[in-house]
Structure 1
């Protein structure tokens, strides 16, 4: 594992990280706004938007992170050699499995904890978009594997977190990148609940990001957190599908389903 090159102050490096996230957020909105104008229901959680347009919007959303990362690599002359992507070793797969299971265990325990403490919570905007559309929910399985997880891990881990290595320790970079990752998700929760509920949800997103970020820091292979992130979201959407199909019938423990799908940190 190569040592970090400390060439600037930590404060400036963190500001650059926030700037990169802000740039990606603006770029994503530039891509999806025309579609939202075409289909106003995409911006209204109380309406069911056209399924095809919803899928296109989600793909454009995650594509914005790919594009933001690619622009950064081009402008800074880092090039694609900056991307830590290789065939996983046995150790890489061990970390990927551990991060997947660790994130699932965390969200279940965290979910039960907020139920026990009766803490408020906000649902993710994506869950509102999916609604009770089972076909769209099934499409989300492919979206999280081929678009969501690769895009977010490429940008927040291989671009933002790796950029933070230039002035922070690896643990410090994981913490800072996870904070940035959580703050970027504010728009996904702000319209669906109270301020306290949004904060609880962002804590869950932050902690999940810590797990993915640490796995990347230990392996220097962006495929590792990508696999873990995808596995985590597949678990949640799988339970969401079960909730739609069986929760009302009493065949499955609804409390388990509700706590496990309370947070979907896409």
Structure 2
């Protein structure tokens, strides 16, 4: 293949991937507006907003990603067959469980390394909405399984990663997608809860966790060729963290602050 043509293919694929990821973030800012209009407290003091409003905003946030991915597939003329929604085999379910366990292990390994190196902790805007409400943590499990994991994996795996296959090797596409996936989460952690810029060093362990986690889920998608596998692994991974937080709030509330140091979720930006 002509090297010049190949470079052009790389550029087009990366540009499309970046635009799709950015489009998902922008769309989310609009799809959450109905929840904000219903309960303006979401924009002023999120922790004081009604649970129903917070849950609606969380769900609508992910709807934006689905809309962007669906519009792109429609524009490219792809039908339903483009969605890799085949049920995993028994072996593929085993791979999914393994991917979940490895992702959790990576999360803790990075957390321990961060503590050893004395890196600062970054705030997470999602925690601002949850606070110390254990019931809200349980309700977040619904968001994780029905909206968070399906929406993110659909856009980043079945749309972006699959689009990159046109120019990259499967592993190259996984790495590129994972870099983009980590980058789009910077708004979630890049600002302290008071609106000031977060310490850049605090982003290092989080971005590393997100990048490696996305590589694990992306490679799982390559191996299984079904979107159901990374959706399930992603959901189990996030659910583990929220379940851990719930147990802390219910039985060890005095350890809440310490728990925040290790609960690193993959929810996208919720800044209004």
TM more than 0.5: yes
Between 1:190-199 and 1:131-140, the stretch displaced more is: 190-199
Q: Match of 1:170? A: 170
Q: Match of 1:41? A: 41
SS, match of residue 32 in structure 2: helix
Aligned partners of 2:121 and 2:261 also within 8 Å: no
**1:108–1:183 CA distance, 2 compared to 1 (3 A):** same
Q: Match of 1:231? A: 236
* Counterparts of 2:114 and 2:251, CA distance in 1: 23
Between 1:43-52 and 1:216-225, the stretch displaced more is: 43-52
**1:23–1:46 CA distance, 2 compared to 1 (3 A):** closer
Aligned partners of 1:216 and 1:222 also within 8 Å: yes
Q: Match of 1:206? A: 211
Query: What does 1:96-111 align with in structure 2 at a 5 Å threshold?
Result: 96-111=96-111
Q: Match of 2:223? A: 218
Give the aligned length. 257
Between 1:113-122 and 1:6-15, the stretch displaced more is: 6-15
**1:44–1:210 CA distance, 2 compared to 1 (3 A):** farther
SS, match of residue 166 in structure 1: coil
Q: What are the superposed Cα offsets for residues 34-90 of structure 1, whole Å, 9 maximum, x if unpaired?
A: 433553432356742221100000110111111111111111101221111101112
Q: Which segments of 5 or more consecutive residues in structure 1 lack a partner in the other structure?
A: 1-5
Q: Match of 1:243? A: 248
**1:201–1:48 CA distance, 2 compared to 1 (3 A):** farther
**1:222–1:170 CA distance, 2 compared to 1 (3 A):** same
Post-superposition offset of 1:135: 1.6
When the two chains are superposed, the root-mean-square deviation of aligned CA atoms in Å is 2.1
Q: What are the superposed Cα offsets for residues 164-194 of structure 1, whole Å, 9 maximum, x if unpaired?
A: 0000011110011111111111121122232
Aligned partners of 2:107 and 2:209 also within 8 Å: yes
For the pair 1:265 / 2:266, whether they are aligned, the reply is yes
Post-superposition offset of 1:242: 1.7
Post-superposition offset of 1:115: 1.3
Q: Match of 1:144? A: 144
Q: Match of 1:54? A: 54
Q: Which segments of 5 or more consecutive residues in structure 2 lack a partner in the other structure?
A: 1-5, 193-197, 268-272
Q: Match of 2:195? A: none
SS, match of residue 260 in structure 1: coil
Q: What are the superposed Cα offsets for residues 79-112 of structure 1, whole Å, 9 maximum, x if unpaired?
A: 2211111011122112111111111111111111
**1:120–1:40 CA distance, 2 compared to 1 (3 A):** farther
